[in-house]
Structure 1
Amino acid sequence: MKKPLQLLPVLLLLLLFAPGQLSAQQDTTQGSTKTDSTKKVDFSLMPFLSYNRNLELMLGVIPMMMYKLDQTDSISPKSLSGLSAIYTTNGSFFVAGFNRWYFKEDRWRASLFALTGDNNSQFYMDDIDSPGFYDYGTKTTIVSVGIQRKIIDKFYGGITYTYSHYDTQYEDDVQPPSTTETNGLEVNLLLDTRDAVYYPTKGRRSRLRWITYPEGLGNEVEANKILSEYNHYFSVHDDRDVIAARFAGKFGLGDIAFEQQVTVGGKDIRGYSQGKYRGDGLMSLQGEYRYNFNEKMGLVGFAGMATIYGSDTDSFNWKLYPGAGVGYRYRAFKTVKFNIGLDAAVGKDDWGVYFRIGESF
């Protein structure tokens, strides 16, 4: 029998709510306040409060900062770094660090993400005497590092390496304890014509990723995945609001272990938090209207549809899974349009609450 998906902690980066904010601007070389935004480091400290059907009440804090790696670089967007520490009332905890760097006049882009924690959640089994959800606990460690280089104007290519380690215990011994270690190597291409990387109002972002898990890198099962996404942004109402549209496709090739399977939910289709519908591949379409009623706050409304294939439960394959909901946005930094917020969505026999850093896509 395949093992349950252990990637829920990665969604930590999408969970954020900020009832309050602390911001400061500092000169990075002399420590004095300046009016030139290129001389500033913007800090934002957000408390975290959320509720999830699996993790229950979640409490924590997330400090972030935006800054220029090179103060003389007027082309690169500001880089972003942050930490997060979350505790949940079901006994889970996560600590993560995330970084996005832009440098050399946006000819180079890099990322670094690391997470460790203990995830107590559930998974669905239907090939036993008592089908249903069963609890499991996983000690998780994930480290991912990537680099991209501009090939021609607006077009980038790069590579990413991701290491993951999981130690899992299962409720009622429905499966034996397991230790899983994966090493993923990704090659990616990116076409980015957005007018801003953190809050685009027009343009498009198209990305194609090939991820391989070869046995030569220490993987027990050799597998490959192709991930594709296409986001398009339209400015409306005299550039006040934004219509955003997204297609996402995730395609597993070969012998896909459960750790590499995909789940209906998250940014691809909101409204699913139980992790019930998962398989080797997923396709989804969704649209979102972003209404900005003042400079610091806004509302969003969204709807979409997804389908999966390669599920262990045959009746889940190629069915339509709709999702729709609304959300609230708050501007986290003074000098850059960068939102944090809360979404609430309903799906097929499910619902979800999503606290996020940045927009959904």
Structure 2
Amino acid sequence: MIFRRKAILVLLGICVSTVLFAQQKESSTDSTQVENKVDFNVMPFLSYNRNLKFMLGAIPMGMYRLDKNDTISPKSLSGLSAVYTTNGSYFLALFNKLYLKEDTWRIQLFALNGDQNSQFFMDDFEGPGFYDYGTKTSVVSAGVQRKIIPNLFLGLTYTYAHYYTEYEDDVQPPSTTETNGLQLNALFDSRDAVYYPTGGNKIRLRWIAFPEWFGNDVNANKILSEYNKFISMSNGADVLALRFSGKFGLGDIAFEQQVTIGGNDIRGYSEGKYRGDGLVALQGEYRYNFGERMGLVGFAGLATIYGSDTESFNWGFYPGAGVGYRYRAFKTVKFNIGLDAAVGKDDWGIYFRIGEAF
């Protein structure tokens, strides 16, 4: 509890500082500082899924240049997120994406504190079905990437996470998990824009190690891979986006480190039923733009998992498809917010988007 309260206070302090900084920067609007000001906006958050129920919150964000003379780097992005759900969960998060030295360096900073009331599926008992659990989570992560050759970045990320999980009806004993993750990553990025690409590729490979010598209880490794391709359509007005995602858990993967089918990899799954050590997913999305600041998307995909405690879930086929609406949030940069609705195998979900799904 003490750790949780301290984390919340730290996050709130950082969040307030970020907002005050953004407002101060935004007030500097004379002709010599136009390029260096913060383009500030507050996004309402409203979403729903079958697990967390209604999700309500706000997301203030700002875009800015760290160096007003650097017109090659994408604009940096800072923001915070405060979300409450009607099943009693809450999340406070701070996020930063910083681009420096003509896009030679990329830095990401992230912090989260939350209490998630969720569910998982078990069939080990006479009455298989969903069981509730609650996880108190605190995460802090910092990463840096360096451009080695054109379009290729190599990087290192450190992530600390603390979880305390309690299960309904004591189907499993309460658990405390503390992890220290070291991530080596490689990124090939030939996109023509980082926030709304209309062409190019984003290929990312990450190896995350949780070694015992680094303060972890057991050795575990995760390999995360993704390949995103963007194709300009209708003479540049629209975009066809294609994605492959593979997440592979190796060693002793903790319950909180497992993956569930859903989210960006395959929309249409929100119950948290299909959980395992790894997954593979394919997805395609057509992005249709109309007017100056609006658009529609249609998407479909297919996923599978392995390492599930429910043997019949392993290597099954799980399709998902849906549609969504997009609205351009900033005037100077193509950056969308939106809402998606999707259906999956005996499941469905509604997703509020900050940026594109991939």
* TM-score (ref. length: structure 2): 0.91
Amino acid at match of 2:97: R
Show CA shifts across 1:178-216 (max 9, x none).
111111110000000000000000000001111101011
Amino acid at match of 1:222: N
Helix, strand or coil: the match of 1:292? strand
- Number of the residue aligned with 1:289: 286
Show CA shifts across 1:275-333 (max 9, x none).
11111221111100000012211000000001111111111111110000000001010
- Number of the residue aligned with 2:277: 280
- Number of the residue aligned with 1:213: 210
Amino acid at match of 1:242: V
Identity %, equivalent residues: 73
Residue among 326, 329, 334 paired with 2:331: 334
Can you give the 5+ residue segments of structure 1 that lack an aligned partner in the other structure? 1-24
- Whether 1:133 aligns to 2:152 is no
Helix, strand or coil: the match of 1:31? coil
- Whether 1:257 aligns to 2:251 is no
8 A Cα contact 1:244 1:287, kept in partner: yes
Amino acid at match of 1:157: L
- Whether 1:203 aligns to 2:200 is yes
Q: Which has the higher contact order (CA 8 A, sep 6+)?
A: 1
8 A Cα contact 2:51 2:272, kept in partner: no
Report the Cα distance in structure 2 between the residues aligned to 1:72 and 1:239, rounded to whole angstroms: 29
Q: CA offset at residue 263 of structure 1? A: 1.1
- Counterparts in 2 of 1:38-57, with a 5 A limit? 38-57=35-54
8 A Cα contact 1:55 1:90, kept in partner: yes
Q: CA offset at residue 38 of structure 1? A: 2.0
Report the Cα distance in structure 2 between the residues aligned to 1:30 and 1:280, rounded to whole angstroms: 48
Residue among 202, 221, 226 paired with 2:223: 226
- Whether 1:167 aligns to 2:160 is no
- Number of the residue aligned with 1:87: 84
Report the Cα distance in structure 1 between the residues aligned to 2:120 and 2:258, rounded to whole angstroms: 13
- Counterparts in 2 of 1:344-359, with a 5 A limit? 344-359=341-356
Q: CA offset at residue 26 of structure 1? A: 8.2
Residue among 172, 175, 178 paired with 2:175: 178
* TM-score (ref. length: structure 1): 0.90
- Whether 1:304 aligns to 2:293 is no
In the TM superposition, structure 1's runs of 4+ consecutive aligned residues that sit over 6 Å from their partners are: none
Report the Cα distance in structure 2 between the residues aligned to 1:306 and 1:37, rounded to whole angstroms: 46
Residue correspondences, number: 337
Report the Cα distance in structure 2 between the residues aligned to 1:83 and 1:240, rounded to whole angstroms: 31
Report the Cα distance in structure 2 between the residues aligned to 1:153 and 1:79, rounded to whole angstroms: 20
8 A Cα contact 1:264 1:282, kept in partner: yes
RMSD of aligned alpha carbons: 1.6
More helix by share: 2
Helix, strand or coil: the match of 2:38? strand
Report the CA distance shift for 1:29/1:82 in structure 2 as closer, same or farther (over 3 A).
closer
- Whether 1:271 aligns to 2:268 is yes
- Number of the residue aligned with 1:153: 150
